[in-house]
Structure 1
């Protein structure tokens, strides 16, 4: 959000009438206000999970402390929707028990979890983000449809989700999620979308920061080229002839040449093409020996490319990608 948009939003909030949230406990002991929305909750609930609010509770209250229905009023400089998601997570055990949470909820718990030290909510939200964008090839391979179709299982899918996850991870120093999230973007999105953003169903746009756009544009070209290196995923397709112990040279050569032409013509990125997930029909035309050699080459190649994945996006190696929470 630009500074002018932020200023306009603040002005609207200052002029907006104060509204009472549905989160209003009649026996609550403190009222939180975010933007023009108030929430009546309990100091004990906040303090139990947040050292920040524990310290605020212990501060001496000035005589002119604003109050609402006898409760001290604490104004927060946060989005009201974020605060509502945070309080739902604190008060409703079923909320965090959902298999998949909406992305705005995950983002709110990460932002406010970091800011106010709600450590268990922060860790839970980060686990959802990193589950969708893992650090190991084995975890990546277990995601539905290899994650390259942007299917998610811990965060509710929406158009533009991959861009939203990239921005959330980078802005909150969840660095371990970035290589996989970046790869999913370059593997699934037309390059023009990096610049234009992805229009969501609610009319807003999932946009990327310039640093992310540059990383994606540069990395895509490098990844497409690298996948054809002899030691990488698709290198076996560029061998000059069939293997020496091939049982059906004409058939195997024709298969390899046809597959090579198709992949080159499509220009697609298949750095982590999993040979064990390919239907038998995909291998029809190769003899058993060549099929084994091809699968062996692809398996070794995709492992090598995964190890090198962070470097394609100008990030440190996997072992150095720490989350600064």
Structure 2
């Protein structure tokens, strides 16, 4: 059912294929559907990017991409293409059963999302050292191998076990991911990823996954020959040369960045980089190139502070080539923000850098001060700096009820602007400081709905905002049942001797004042005790209830925002101090080199 480009006019679908792009699963589906199609081949440029003519097919220059001849529509993204073709040409084939619908939806998106991201990370870690400049290869490789072992391998094992168990569950009904006797969109999407998993993570692959791949490759539609011409590894995922597949987090892009091994990578920095005026020491032993700025600093000083730098510098280095040297010092490229790195060097070279920080600085000033240092001290394992930054953050976002009380008793009370609170929450998320989050989310939950529904730069994600909105209702309930229950359901003291307290209306009136507030504030201390108009014994009883309720609200605060418990957050943060975690969603600041 296939023609090469220009052979005939019977094709209903044109598949635009870029060499080393992932088109095999689209071809398989077209063969299964029996839809006449035509393949148009595109060759990458010398920089391994897509050619300009592919942008004429789709504005983003994506590959693979299809053109529906009948409608003229061009569609990119493999998952979208697969669902479109099944919906238009399937005539009921390859649709899941009612029982398999949820699995079909899930695995259609899981394959391109969760699983492929892990394989992308493994691909990057294992190939980055090979593409690094010669001077860097010796110490890049151990770092990349350690990163793979710490952050990718455990997740691959867990996902492979998850897939193995799912296939065990459905194999009685036909082996396909949504059950049933025929593949569905989920299987077409998963085909490429599982074949790569069998090669890139074969040590984790169980018998069910291997059998699924064997059955896939045995299907006649999958094995049909491709057009004659030079072999294309991307059109045959079973090829052992998986590195050539150019795995990426999404489809191939025209503007793909050149790899570190590109000729310009080792020469252009000399033309563009400039020496930093404050951190260019004549007796420095290493030159670090950060964001087109050169820092000549001391290996021993950096290694004394940072475990990562110490490991890098302790590995014997080969004789450097001229282009990798500046004034006799070898050059190391770091992918950090220049301002963040300047802040880090200020802290390293100035012992009083943290001590000179004013204690009355507002939240915005604290964030400006700690942001860069926290990011890089987490990244480069500088534990003392990381802890100093966390201490400054927790002075604004307490982690114990005692600290909260001390903070709330300050005169005048400190107020935070909404943008700074959002920024602090994002900083804590990205750098594994989860103990800051409960009170940060508490502050976000008390913001106006109008502000919550805005998405400004540096805001938390919509997912976190949803959690905070749900937490807002939990805070309202906590006022009623915990910290302010003494007003809503007034109970006399056991030692009360005043018959007037039995019919007291003051507590109920005060509850309506609390309930009418725009935002719940169950941690707030109640002070207007005289308005209750009850005896001293009842006031003391209410004060005791109020204090216990506030303490319980604090204890439950992380759970109200789906963060676990204070103890779990402390443990998680402690693990991060020992070995900072990479986020599932990658940070803007990648690992060095």
The counterpart of 1:238, out of the listed 488, 512, 520, is: 488
Q: Matched residues in 2 for 1:172 and 1:147: separation?
A: 31
Compare CA radii of gyration and give the structure with the larger one. 2
- 2:130 equivalent to 1:130: no
Q: CA RMSD in A?
A: 3.2
Q: For residue 241 of structure 1, report the CA deviation from its aligned partner.
A: 7.2
Tell me if structure 2 keeps the 8 A contact 1:140–1:147.
no
Stretch of structure 1 that moved more, 54-63 or 218-227: 54-63
In structure 2, the CA distance between the partners of 1:226 and 1:41, relative to structure 1 (3 Å rule), is same
Taking structure 1 as the reference length, the TM-score comes to 0.80
Instruction: Report the secondary structure of 1:95's partner residue.
Output: coil
Q: For residue 263 of structure 1, report the CA deviation from its aligned partner.
A: 1.5
Matches within 5 A, 1:81-120: 81-97=339-355, 98-100=357-359, 102-120=366-384
Tell me if structure 2 keeps the 8 A contact 1:237–1:260.
yes
Instruction: Report the secondary structure of 1:27's partner residue.
Output: coil
Instruction: Report the secondary structure of 1:31's partner residue.
Output: strand
Q: For residue 85 of structure 1, report the CA deviation from its aligned partner.
A: 0.6
In structure 2, the CA distance between the partners of 1:306 and 1:252, relative to structure 1 (3 Å rule), is farther
* Structure 2, unpaired ranges of 5+: 1-249, 258-267, 360-364, 578-593
The counterpart of 2:320, out of the listed 63, 74, 82, is: 63
Q: For residue 285 of structure 1, report the CA deviation from its aligned partner.
A: 4.8
- 2:421 equivalent to 1:173: no
- 2:295 equivalent to 1:36: no
Q: For residue 145 of structure 1, report the CA deviation from its aligned partner.
A: 4.4
Q: For residue 14 of structure 1, report the CA deviation from its aligned partner.
A: 7.8
Aligned position for 1:253: 504
Q: Matched residues in 1 for 2:269 and 2:285: separation?
A: 25
Q: Matched residues in 2 for 1:183 and 1:169: separation?
A: 14
Tell me if structure 1 keeps the 8 A contact 2:492–2:541.
no
* Structure 1, unpaired ranges of 5+: 152-156, 199-204
Alpha-carbon displacement from aligned partner over 1:71-114 (angstroms, at most 9, x marks no partner): 22211101111101100000112211124563133122221112
Q: Matched residues in 1 for 2:421 and 2:499: separation?
A: 44
Tell me if structure 1 keeps the 8 A contact 2:299–2:313.
yes
Q: Matched residues in 1 for 2:436 and 2:384: separation?
A: 19
Alpha-carbon displacement from aligned partner over 1:198-232 (angstroms, at most 9, x marks no partner): 6xxxxxx3311123112101100111122101xx1
Count of paired positions: 299
Q: For residue 129 of structure 1, report the CA deviation from its aligned partner.
A: 2.0
The counterpart of 2:530, out of the listed 272, 283, 292, is: 283
Q: For residue 197 of structure 1, report the CA deviation from its aligned partner.
A: 4.2
Matches within 5 A, 1:220-239: 220-229=472-481, 232-239=482-489
The counterpart of 1:214, out of the listed 466, 475, 490, is: 466
Q: Matched residues in 1 for 2:332 and 2:548: separation?
A: 57
Q: For residue 46 of structure 1, report the CA deviation from its aligned partner.
A: 0.4
Q: Matched residues in 1 for 2:539 and 2:312: separation?
A: 66
The counterpart of 1:25, out of the listed 278, 281, 286, is: 281
Taking structure 2 as the reference length, the TM-score comes to 0.46
Alpha-carbon displacement from aligned partner over 1:106-143 (angstroms, at most 9, x marks no partner): 12222111211112111221222233323321111111
* Moved beyond 4 Å, runs of 4+: 13-16, 144-151, 240-244
Instruction: Report the secondary structure of 1:38's partner residue.
Output: strand
Instruction: Report the secondary structure of 1:73's partner residue.
Output: strand
Q: Matched residues in 2 for 1:221 and 1:291: separation?
A: 28
Q: For residue 250 of structure 1, report the CA deviation from its aligned partner.
A: 7.5
Alpha-carbon displacement from aligned partner over 1:11-53 (angstroms, at most 9, x marks no partner): xx98994233232223222221211222221112101111221
Q: Matched residues in 1 for 2:488 and 2:442: separation?
A: 24
